[in-house]
Amino acid sequence: MPRDPTAHRLDQRLAAEQSRSRLPSVAAGIVRKGKLAWFGSAGEVDGAAPTEDTQYRCGSISKTFVAVEVMRLRDEGLVDLSAPIGTYLPELAHVPCNIAHLLSHTSGLRAETAGPWWERTPGVSFAELVQSSVRVVDLLDSPGRRFHYSNVGYAVLGELISRVRAEAWDDVVDTELLRALGMVRTTTHPVRPFAGGLGVHPHADVVLSEPEHDAVSMAPAGQLWTTVSDLCRWSAVLAGQRPDVLSPETAAEMREPIAISDLPDLPWTTAHGLGIQVFNRDGRRSYGHYGSMPGFLAALRIDAPTGDGVIVMTNTTSGLAPTLEAELLSSFQEHEPMPEEAWSPVRGGVDRALLEITGAWYWGTSAFVLSVSKNGDLSLRTLALGREADFRPAGDDTFVGLSGYYAGETLHIVRDEAGRVNALDIGSFILTRAPYDPSAPVPGGVSGQGWTGSAPEPARHVPLPHLRRRD
């Protein structure tokens, strides 16, 4: 738990937001290492301060539950993200998008339904939704071309879950996700204690009750009610800390930016992955999702470098400062920094073959440094080109790129006839121990005149002795 001055500072910021923004109530929490490190609330629900178990409607944060379940289906081999949605929902054979398009809001489908505003009116069946809002004329763009947020697309994903599991989407989420995580206060309809949805008059200190209803086919887009305590547990799933529910590799895949929310004349600050929003604030990445429904606003954000998370929920239609959750998390991290992990040498040491290739390397005249991590991965860093990358062992003298420019590419250790390390080959880019080492297989050869103080004649290709690498 944070020290008293930090908790007091966070409490004060939350109280100020409740007063200035005229929020009927607001509840917030900071998550560290999967635990609720701080909880605060302001305002009242039924005459008392909200607690960490007071329900609020979380709106589009519901989409993250749908997305996680779709990814679980993928991991089980039951769906293919690149398959057209009509493969699983035959009545949508006319819709050319695939499952990944739907997850990342690049399907081209319309944002909202064609009927009355679905967030304030009773819902319709999926068959009725298809007839009114998932027609050919409802395709606004070709799939994959650009980001266009689509609530309708998540209704389709909810139906996909229901068809593949042969069970209602919310029952699947309850059985496979909520129960496994102990999220007993996350439901599709409110269960006391809960905050009622309110609209605050923009020019007078009065409120209006917002409706609560069953959105039926549109429910996957924003139906869930939850609590700060339950979202604390959920944040661990999105952070890849609950492998029993979602593998860390799949969680990481979900938060890779796919489609940028591009606003004219502005730097990009938000992108979407596979059901996850990705935020770029001054180059620092975080991820999660915002949520809104009439009477409610919510935010769940996780700091990518540390895994610290923040949750904010309030029962008002509009008015919450868009920077509140970022301010709370920044304040917490400033005054309660993540403890540095103590350094210790690797037990048993590092493979001598890996030690042999660490240190300085050159791509032409650009300097790189290669180092070995404790788990045996390689880390390639440079100050110039922005081509930093991490590599994981993939076989004898080979490593596969995990990130950056070389993601998915293979790094080969090249040896001379005597078996000594002579070069590194990364997708045909040759790195040598010295700039343009004449003994290494530099593409195009190295000028026989060597390094001079004046411009020499153009280098001619000089055949090199046969060098080998293990493929």
Q: How much is the pLDDT for 337?
A: 95
Q: How far, in Å, CA of 101 to CA of 153, rounded?
A: 9
Spatial neighbors of 243 by CB under 8 A, at least 6 apart, are none
Tens-digit pLDDT profile for residues 284-303: 999 999 999 999 999 999 99
Sign of the alpha-carbon dihedral angle for 348, 351, 356, 360: negative
> Are 324 and 361 members of one domain?
no
Q: How much is the pLDDT for 3?
A: 67
> Are 359 and 391 members of one domain?
yes
**CATH code of the domain covering residue 322:** 3.40.710.10
Within its chain, how far is the Cα of 146 from the centroid? 18
**Which residues span the domain enclosing 404?**
352-469
Cis peptide leading into residue 193 (ω within 30°): yes
Helices (H), strands (E): how many in the chain?
11, 21
In a domain, 347, yes or no: no
Q: How much is the pLDDT for 267?
A: 87
Cα angle vertex 385, ends 380, 391, to 5°? 20
Q: How much is the pLDDT for 457?
A: 63
Of 287, 237, 253, 284, nearest to 403 (Cα)?
253
Within its chain, how far is the Cα of 351 from the centroid? 34
Bridge partners, residue 43, by sequence: 25
CA atoms within 13 A on the CB side of 410: 11
Q: How much is the pLDDT for 52?
A: 98
In a domain, 8, yes or no: no
Q: What are phi and psi of 91, to 5 degrees?
A: -70, -10
> Are 42 and 183 members of one domain?
yes
> Are 245 and 368 members of one domain?
no
In a domain, 134, yes or no: yes
Q: How much is the pLDDT for 182?
A: 98
Choosing from 289, 310, 335, the residue where a domain stops is 335
> Are 378 and 237 members of one domain?
no
Q: What total number of domains does the chain contain?
A: 2
> Are 189 and 220 members of one domain?
yes
Q: How much is the pLDDT for 266?
A: 87
In Å, what is the CA distance from 373 to each residue of 4, 159, 355? Answer: 37, 44, 11
Q: How much is the pLDDT for 399?
A: 96
Choosing from 309, 335, 361, the residue where a domain stops is 335
In Å, what is the CA distance from 293 to each residue of 48, 64, 75, 232, 240? Answer: 23, 15, 31, 21, 27
Of 50, 64, 29, nearest to 228 (Cα)?
29
Q: How far, in Å, CA of 167 to CA of 180, rounded?
A: 17
In a domain, 187, yes or no: yes
Q: What is the mean pLDDT of the chain?
A: 94
Looking up tokens 């009242």, which residue turns up?
Answer: 44
In a domain, 167, yes or no: yes
Structure token digits, residue 69: 């379940």
Tens-digit pLDDT profile for residues 421-443: 999 999 999 999 999 999 999 99
Q: Flag residues of the chain having pLDDT under 50.
A: 466
In a domain, 3, yes or no: no
> Are 119 and 205 members of one domain?
yes
> Are 357 and 225 members of one domain?
no
Of 246, 214, 236, nearest to 75 (Cα)?
246
Cβ pair 446, 436 in contact under 8 A: yes
DSSP letter at 382 equals: -
Helices (H), 76-220: 99-103, 126-133, 151-165, 169-173, 179-181
Q: How far, in Å, CA of 274 to CA of 449, rounded?
A: 54
In a domain, 5, yes or no: no
Structure token digits, residue 226: 């939850």
In a domain, 2, yes or no: no
> Are 68 and 120 members of one domain?
yes
Structure token digits, residue 192: 């006391």
> Are 205 and 133 members of one domain?
yes
Q: How much is the pLDDT for 180?
A: 97
CA atoms within 13 A on the CB side of 265: 0
> Are 313 and 420 members of one domain?
no
pTM of the model: 0.90
Choosing from 335, 362, 394, the residue where a domain stops is 335
Of 124, 130, 327, 128, nearest to 216 (Cα)?
124
Tens-digit pLDDT profile for residues 269-281: 999 999 999 999 8
> Are 267 and 395 members of one domain?
no
